[in-house]
Chains A and B, each alone.
Chain A
Amino acid sequence: MTPVPISLEVNGERVEAHVLPRLNLADFLREHLKLTGTHVGCEHGVCGACTVRFNGEIARSCLILAVQAQEGSVETIEGLSDSGEIADLQAAFRDRNSLQCGFCTPAMLMVAQDLLKQTPVPDREEIREHLSGNYCRCTGYQAIVDAIETTARLRAERAP
């Protein structure tokens, strides 16, 4: 196997690298770029812990090869945190203790932000449905649902 060159944007920065064709995007982010906020829970596309934003849509980075990200744009939890895009969502998670071990949390925040962009004021059923591809073994989900509901309400109140 020979490494192939790839070029993509990660959290707004241009990244050039040589990767083996079999390397998945999650491992590329974690091992090559040291962006360890993207977590690997199952490596077969079920648990959702490796969710990132790829070309604007949430995606499981363990199911994407790094070479498929050629010329694409990837945003990780580090990017979303540093830009302040989800600061209110993170504050709601903190106030509601919506995480315990925190391993699922970066992906949960990704998925929650995705929902709120599509459906600004979702009901609890819609929130639960949208999170249903992401495992959380600690919280039982209720606190996560609560925090997302609160964020949606606060955003709606702030909206002009």
Chain B
Amino acid sequence: MTRAPENRDAFSVLDRPNSYIGKTVPRPNLDRLMQGRGQYVSDIELPRMAHVVFLRSPHAHARITGIDGAAAKRMPGVIAVVTGQEIAAVITPWVGVLSHLKGLKSAPQSAIAVDRVCWQGEAVAAIIATSRAAAEDAAEHVAVAYEELDAVTDMQTALDPTTSVIHPALGDNLAFERNHDAGTVDAAFAASDEVVEAEFIFGRHTGVTLEPRSVVADWNAAEARLTIYQGTQAPHMVQNIAALHLGLQESQVRVVCKDVGGSFGIKVHIYADEMATYALSKLLRRPVKFVADRVESFNTDIHARDHRCKGKIGVKRDGTITAFEIDDLTGIGPYSMYPRTSAIEANQVVNLVGGPYATKNYRARARVVFQNKNVMCQYRAVGHPIACSVTESLVDLAAMKIGMDPVEIRRRNLIADDAYPCASPSGLRFEQLSHHAALAKLIKMMDYDALRAEQATLRARNIHRGIGIASFIEVTNPSAAFYGVGGAKISSQDGVALRLDAQGAVVCQTSITEQGQGSESLTAQIVGSVLGVSMDRVRVILGDTDNTPYGGGTWASRGAGIGGEAALQATKVLRRNILDVAAAILQSTPGELDIINNSVVNVSDGAPRIELSELARIVYFRPDTLPPGIQAELMATRHFVPREYPFAFTNGVQASWLEVDTDTGFVKLLKHWVVEDCGTIINPQLVDEQIRGGVVQGLGAALFEKCVYDERGQLTNANMADYLVPMSGEMPDIDVGHVVSPTLESELGAKGAGEAGTAGAAAAVTNAVNDALRPFRTIVTEIPLTPQIILTALGRI
């Protein structure tokens, strides 16, 4: 690891003997998942549980003129058929706007459509039965009469005066627009030796979590309490929203989240069908389970990306980048999602374009329009792949224009590693990044010069390989600046509560959640290291609003950086409390004692004085033997939220090495490299696997994944056979390296790493394809890079 300059004290609570920080240790929760003993929501069964199936609109836009559920209600096992109007009696509609996204507008959305459907897949009725199969049988007998309306599907014409307005009360189809102008863009372009422009197209794709969205809602009328079992990234957010719209207090709602079969941002939102399930449980006074089938997943899990972005870059002959300009357009479906809104991605694109580079001249416009397609919202690496691809493609096109090597142009323009703290032209504040150290490490890892030589040799044999480089920045550890300031009740702080139990083991309750990233492991590693106990003595409890502190959860690469720091601070307090009692028992002083390897020891000679189990025994069962006035507190709670920087930016660089078959248009990925800087690394293996998994999701977007809609707003590939994702046979091995620039905002120093891979993968691949196609004097600017797009660029079809 290359360690970037830092000014931390040599002594750290993390460098203690037997520390787990920076060490690869296996996650404690893997055995149950590997033995089929996990508990995903789809596994949950409760007494008297009913199953709901939603009848969904076949039309992209239509008026509902009648719903007849009488025949369905007579079907075997059917408990109820509920329409949007009926469910409105127990749940209120919502509007997905935030006040800090100025001008963002949306229309009220209901749990089940009332009078009108706005996308193919919107629920029009709920059928509740004793089994899912019985409910599906009955759904076929619900008769819905529709009057089809014009469907707005093409985002490019959504704002035309001749296009119908989806929500007439809003006046037009523009949900949000942001303009930004920094420096002297026009003058910079005028002073450039070359100006390059291109239009970049990003397909609409989705998360395809292997476990579909699932929820079991259990309204106990006798307790007046709703328990929601849901695979969510943000249990307290779900608690707040469910209570708000069902007319309950938060104390009446408990959200339990055990194992989650993939999330990636898909499961951080509030979906209409989930809200309907909560409401149905209240209406029917019994547990109701909803498990989406795969067609529903494709039609209703949020989609992402779907941008058309015009980009422009100015460059001087010496390689100096003079300015960036973009004009981005994205279509978000008929509603801005709730409560995080669908304007964040475009907003991020404006924030992030040009982010790694030193130029101060930057102009951007982003427009977000409504369409009659499925809703769109935040998915892993929100906005980053768009911003990174536009920026990095423009940088490569500029390099090509002036005949400069892609690595060299980056060396000349990336913000210098000693220039921090500094700010980007879009106003982002960077504490400490390491673009140059990362690039240097990447070049070495991939042996860049040797690859260039190999490329040249193979080109002579008509084999077309390409190298693509992409530098990136990543938003992590978001403060309240992300959602809280806009009025959303989404916590940006997290809490950890620790308790030493009566046998000297630690019970740790944290508000961050686990969807496979390793939240449980990293929390136990921090607690074990800072306290001085072995990890197997730390039991981590998460995903239960009744049994954890209040907090944000796991999203936006925040779990380790924010939840990890809360764990560190709580552990310091518990350690102090333990040493206070130990000093009283041992007739010593806290300063003379330490905890190492599950025992209180002398600082002076390391000699064990008392095992924690013995200390706990005395405190809990023989407090009478403690000196007078000593009241032990073997429990400690701390919370943390970043205050100094709105976001802890990380940085990194990726490289792709691939081969393009110019006859078939197929791309074969040969190798992928990533160097990234997420600050303090708690568990190197977990970080690397987050990066690798993120890269592969980015590679999916680059090569395969696209929700294909026809002009009437019908999703034509809503199944796993037609919607392609990366499979093992097509994926390359991915080498991961690190530079370490800890954030000084926390004692832990950790930033996030969950989205870095996804941020830059597609950009690296696109640049590599264009590098491979260089002899053909053509470029591609659209992903996914299907054979059709490549063969079209080559003029072969």
- Residues of chain A having any CB pair with chain B under 8 Å: 20, 22, 30, 35-44, 46-47, 49, 76-78, 81, 90, 93-97, 99-106, 109, 124, 127-129, 131-145
The distance in angstroms between the C-alpha atoms of A103 and B212, with both chains bound, is 10
Residue-wise, chain B 512-545 has the 8 Å CB interface mask toward A (1 for contact) of 0001111000000000000000000000000000
In the complex, which of the residues B26, B42, B517 contacts A94, with contact meaning CB atoms closer than 8 Å? Answer: B26
- Tell which of B58-66, B257-265, B589-597, B601-609 binds the partner: B257-265
Nearest-Cβ distance from residue A158 to partner chain B, whole angstroms: 21
Judged by a CB distance under 8 angstroms, whether B294 is at the interface is yes
Can you offer 16 A-B residue contacts whose CB atoms are under 8 A?
Answer: A40-B42, A41-B211, A44-B720, A47-B720, A101-B515, A102-B30, A104-B210, A105-B33, A128-B729, A129-B729, A135-B727, A137-B207, A137-B693, A137-B725, A139-B689, A142-B731
**Contact in complex: B689, A135 (CB < 8 Å):** no
8 Å CB interface, B24-62 against A: 26-27, 30-31, 33-40, 42-43
Judged by a CB distance under 8 angstroms, whether B695 is at the interface is yes
The distance in angstroms between the C-alpha atoms of A101 and B257, with both chains bound, is 13
The distance in angstroms between the C-alpha atoms of A4 and B26, with both chains bound, is 46
Judged by a CB distance under 8 angstroms, whether B18 is at the interface is no
Judged by a CB distance under 8 angstroms, whether B792 is at the interface is no
**Contact in complex: A140, B40 (CB < 8 Å):** no
**Contact in complex: B294, A97 (CB < 8 Å):** no
**Contact in complex: A102, B264 (CB < 8 Å):** no
List 7 additional A-B contacts (Cβ < 8 Å) besides A94-B31, A102-B34, A103-B261: A41-B212, A94-B34, A97-B689, A101-B260, A106-B34, A135-B720, A137-B209
Residue of A nearest to B697 (CB): A137
In the complex, which of the residues B27, B34, B727 contacts A90, with contact meaning CB atoms closer than 8 Å? Answer: B34
In the complex, which of the residues A41, A94, A129 contacts B294, with contact meaning CB atoms closer than 8 Å? Answer: A41
Q: What are the residues of chain A within 8 A of B39 when measuring CB–CB?
A: 36
Residue of A nearest to B297 (CB): A42
**Contact in complex: A132, B734 (CB < 8 Å):** no
**Contact in complex: A102, B689 (CB < 8 Å):** no
The distance in angstroms between the C-alpha atoms of A93 and B35, with both chains bound, is 12
**Contact in complex: B728, A141 (CB < 8 Å):** yes
The distance in angstroms between the C-alpha atoms of A41 and B214, with both chains bound, is 12
**Contact in complex: B34, A99 (CB < 8 Å):** yes
The distance in angstroms between the C-alpha atoms of A23 and B294, with both chains bound, is 18
Q: What are the residues of chain B within 8 A of A39 when measuring CB–CB?
A: 40, 42, 210-211, 261
Q: What are the residues of chain B within 8 A of A43 when measuring CB–CB?
A: 293-294
Give the secondary structure class of B's interface: loop
In the complex, which of the residues B34, B210, B734 contacts A47, with contact meaning CB atoms closer than 8 Å? Answer: B210
**Contact in complex: B208, A137 (CB < 8 Å):** yes
**Contact in complex: A81, B725 (CB < 8 Å):** no
Classify chain B's interface size. Answer: 35 or more
Residue of A nearest to B263 (CB): A101
**Given that A97-B27, A138-B262, A143-B692 are known contacts, is A103 also in contact with B721, CB under 8 Å in the complex?**
no
Nearest-Cβ distance from residue B313 to partner chain A, whole angstroms: 31
**Contact in complex: B262, A35 (CB < 8 Å):** no
The distance in angstroms between the C-alpha atoms of A47 and B728, with both chains bound, is 12
**Contact in complex: A140, B695 (CB < 8 Å):** yes
**Contact in complex: B36, A140 (CB < 8 Å):** no
Residue of B nearest to A134 (CB): B728
In the complex, which of the residues B40, B263, B721, B733 contacts A46, with contact meaning CB atoms closer than 8 Å? Answer: B721
Q: Which 6 A-B pairs have the closest CB atoms?
A: A37-B36, A100-B516, A102-B33, A103-B261, A140-B696, A77-B36
Nearest-Cβ distance from residue A6 to partner chain B, whole angstroms: 17
Judged by a CB distance under 8 angstroms, whether B685 is at the interface is yes
8 Å CB interface, B726-784 against A: 726-729, 731, 733-734, 757
The distance in angstroms between the C-alpha atoms of A128 and B727, with both chains bound, is 9
**Given that A90-B31, A97-B26, A97-B685 are known contacts, is A102 also in contact with B38, CB under 8 Å in the complex?**
yes
The distance in angstroms between the C-alpha atoms of A131 and B263, with both chains bound, is 22
The distance in angstroms between the C-alpha atoms of A81 and B294, with both chains bound, is 28
The distance in angstroms between the C-alpha atoms of A107 and B676, with both chains bound, is 32
**Contact in complex: B725, A140 (CB < 8 Å):** no
Q: What are the residues of chain B within 8 A of A137 when measuring CB–CB?
A: 207-210, 262, 264, 693, 697, 725
8 Å CB interface, B198-215 against A: 207-212
Residue of B nearest to A49 (CB): B210
Judged by a CB distance under 8 angstroms, whether B686 is at the interface is yes
Q: What are the residues of chain B within 8 A of A76 when measuring CB–CB?
A: 36
Q: What are the residues of chain B within 8 A of A109 when measuring CB–CB?
A: 34
Q: What are the residues of chain B within 8 A of A81 when measuring CB–CB?
A: 34-36
**Given that A38-B36, A81-B36, A97-B685 are known contacts, is A44 also in contact with B693, CB under 8 Å in the complex?**
no
**Given that A90-B35, A106-B34 are known contacts, is A95 also in contact with B294, CB under 8 Å in the complex?**
no
The distance in angstroms between the C-alpha atoms of A101 and B209, with both chains bound, is 10
Residue of A nearest to B723 (CB): A46
The distance in angstroms between the C-alpha atoms of A139 and B42, with both chains bound, is 22
Residue-wise, chain B 1-30 has the 8 Å CB interface mask toward A (1 for contact) of 000000000000000000000000011001
Judged by a CB distance under 8 angstroms, whether B491 is at the interface is no
Residue of B nearest to A20 (CB): B133
**Given that A97-B27, A134-B728, A145-B728 are known contacts, is A139 also in contact with B294, CB under 8 Å in the complex?**
no
The distance in angstroms between the C-alpha atoms of A140 and B262, with both chains bound, is 13
**Contact in complex: B210, A103 (CB < 8 Å):** yes
Nearest-Cβ distance from residue A149 to partner chain B, whole angstroms: 11
Q: What are the residues of chain A within 8 A of B260 when measuring CB–CB?
A: 101
Nearest-Cβ distance from residue B772 to partner chain A, whole angstroms: 22
Q: What are the residues of chain B within 8 A of A139 when measuring CB–CB?
A: 689, 692-693, 696
**Given that A78-B35, A90-B34, A142-B733 are known contacts, is A132 also in contact with B727, CB under 8 Å in the complex?**
yes
**Contact in complex: B731, A102 (CB < 8 Å):** no
Q: What are the residues of chain A within 8 A of B786 when measuring CB–CB?
A: none
**Contact in complex: B689, A132 (CB < 8 Å):** no
Nearest-Cβ distance from residue A109 to partner chain B, whole angstroms: 7
Nearest-Cβ distance from residue B721 to partner chain A, whole angstroms: 5
Nearest-Cβ distance from residue A26 to partner chain B, whole angstroms: 11
In the complex, which of the residues A40, A100, A142 contacts B517, with contact meaning CB atoms closer than 8 Å? Answer: A100
The distance in angstroms between the C-alpha atoms of A12 and B763, with both chains bound, is 51
Judged by a CB distance under 8 angstroms, whether B719 is at the interface is yes
The distance in angstroms between the C-alpha atoms of A138 and B695, with both chains bound, is 10
**Given that A104-B210, A143-B692 are known contacts, is A36 also in contact with B36, CB under 8 Å in the complex?**
yes
